[in-house]
Amino acid sequence: MGLSGPCVPTSKEATLEVIGLYHREVIVYSDGSGLNEQIGAAVVLYKDGTEQGVLGKHLGSEEQHTIFEAKVLGLSLVAKLIKTKVDFLMLTITMSGMRI
């Protein structure tokens, strides 16, 4: 396979082969928004198309909190969720329709 030592690829092709062996499609969707005058955030983690975890947090009324706070909270929830899912090399984070 073009490996030198336990797992050090010696070429671009070998690197792509190793990534192919261990890569699992991991996508995390994050949304911080308001609904019915309430503000909150939610994240969902999918691995190979299967839901693996969900986290959410209600901040409170839109009189006391902003959408920006909810979006930042969403990123914090993403970090918390992926910390529990350690068997991936790469992941995609999508926040309100944007890839990060």
Give per-residue pLDDT as tens, 43-86.
Answer: 998 887 788 899 999 999 999 999 999 999 999 999 898 888 65
Instruction: Check pLDDT > 70 for residue 18.
Output: no
Hunting for tokens 């190979």 — which residue is that?
Answer: 48
pTM of the predicted protein model: 0.68
Instruction: Determine whether 77 is exposed, middle or buried from the number of CB atoms within 10 Å of its CB (0-12, 13-18, 19+).
Output: buried
Residues 86-100 have pLDDT tens digits of: 567 677 777 764 445
Q: Nearest Cα to 43, choosing from 34, 52, 35? A: 52
Q: Which candidate, 76, 69, 77, places its Cα nearest to that of 38?
A: 69
